[in-house]
Amino acid sequence: MLNRKIKAFIGAAVADVMLMTSGFTAFAGSLGDINSDSAINAVDASEILSEYARVSTNQAPKFTEAQKKAADVDNNGVVNAVDASQVLSYYAYKSTSGTMEFEDYLKNPPAPPKKEPTIVGSWLPVDEEDNTEGIAFTDDGYISMFFYSTENFSFGTDGIKYQDTVYPYSSLVSEGDYITLNSEDKVIFEMKREIKGDGYNGTYKVTGGELHKSMLWLALLSNKNDIGDTTMTVNIDGANSEIWINKFLQYKVNGNTFEVVVPEGAEGDNKPIEFTVDEDTLTIKNENGSTTMKRVK
């Protein structure tokens, strides 16, 4: 009788152990599912990042061995941000009706969806070496122009270069977010800092001076009677600079053509211009020929 009770107890205990082991094995084998909720999502990625942060800062880890195994999705013995990134990528894939299981996804990830061709972006012509003048189409229907202007405009160790002259920093007046460069009886530029960086680095809106006049002159050549929303900005990064003329013109897309909107009261031609986009290459065709450009932003 006692032996039968002992055997029954042992049998029940073994069954419990087997059940526990089965549950543990299922969890440990559920790669990416850190909180064992049968889903692989941003919560799991967050848990992995938190554990990585703890270990990286010499704090006590909180993951169990099973969680470590589930978190080490690239199976390199380390739980880190790469594992979290893969979990997030899979979550994004599943969110777009992906059907692959996680382990299959890791072994043979699907190719990323091909981007729809769009003219929106910043482009430089490829027909000339060292071309520094580009054009940008914005998603709100504006055309901007940009110039890599380091050769003619830069903040260097010896002073501020503008065109062929280097002006000493003593010629620069700084008041809050505004800087003004003076030269004898004229103002070279007046600018307001919009985005602050180290030293003189940052993004500036040009508000006056000879530099601002160049934008007005360009507007005149383009038959613009009113500059409207058009602004000039300068990006300064060390000895490098970019000048942007923002929202210079407007455009409208119709299929594979676009039209430049002729400013009100101006004379001009708004004939449709054919374009094709092949990944990062833009080809523009009109009656005078074609221009090929590469995407830079």
Q: Where are the domains of the chain?
A: 31-107, 121-295
Q: Has this prediction a pTM greater than 0.85?
A: no
**pLDDT confidence tier of residue 226, bands split at 50, 70 and 90:** low
CATH no., domain 31-107: 1.10.1330.10
Separation between Cα atoms, residue 146 and residue 123, nearest integer Å: 9
Nearest alpha carbon to residue 70 among 25, 28, 22: 28
Q: Is residue 28 over pLDDT 50?
A: no
> What is d(CA 147, CA 243) in angstroms, rounded to the nearest whole number?
5
What pLDDT does residue 216 have?
81
Q: What is the pLDDT of residues 113-149, one digit of tens each?
A: 776 788 999 999 887 666 788 999 999 999 999 999 9
**Closest to 201 in 3D by CA, of 174, 235, 242:** 235
Confidence band, pLDDT 50/70/90 cuts, at residue 230: confident
Structure tokens at 97: 């009706």
Read off the pLDDT of residues 35-65 as tens digits, 9 standing for 90 and up: 888 889 999 999 999 999 999 989 999 999 9
Q: Is 60 exceeded by the pLDDT of residue 76?
A: yes
Per the prediction, the chain carries an average pLDDT of 83
Q: Which two tokens stand for residue 13?
A: 């205990």
Place of tokens 């940008």: 136
81-95 vs 42-56: helix axis angle to the nearest 10? 170
Distance CA 19, CA 257 (A): 67
Residue 266 phi, psi dihedral angles, 5° rounding: -105, 155
pLDDT > 70 fraction of the chain, expressed in percent and rounded: 84
Q: How confident is the model at residue 263 (pLDDT cuts 50, 70, 90)?
A: low
Q: Quick check: 137 and 251 in contact, CB under 8 A? A: yes
What is the C-alpha to C-alpha distance for residues 180 and 146, in angstroms, rounded to an integer?
A: 22
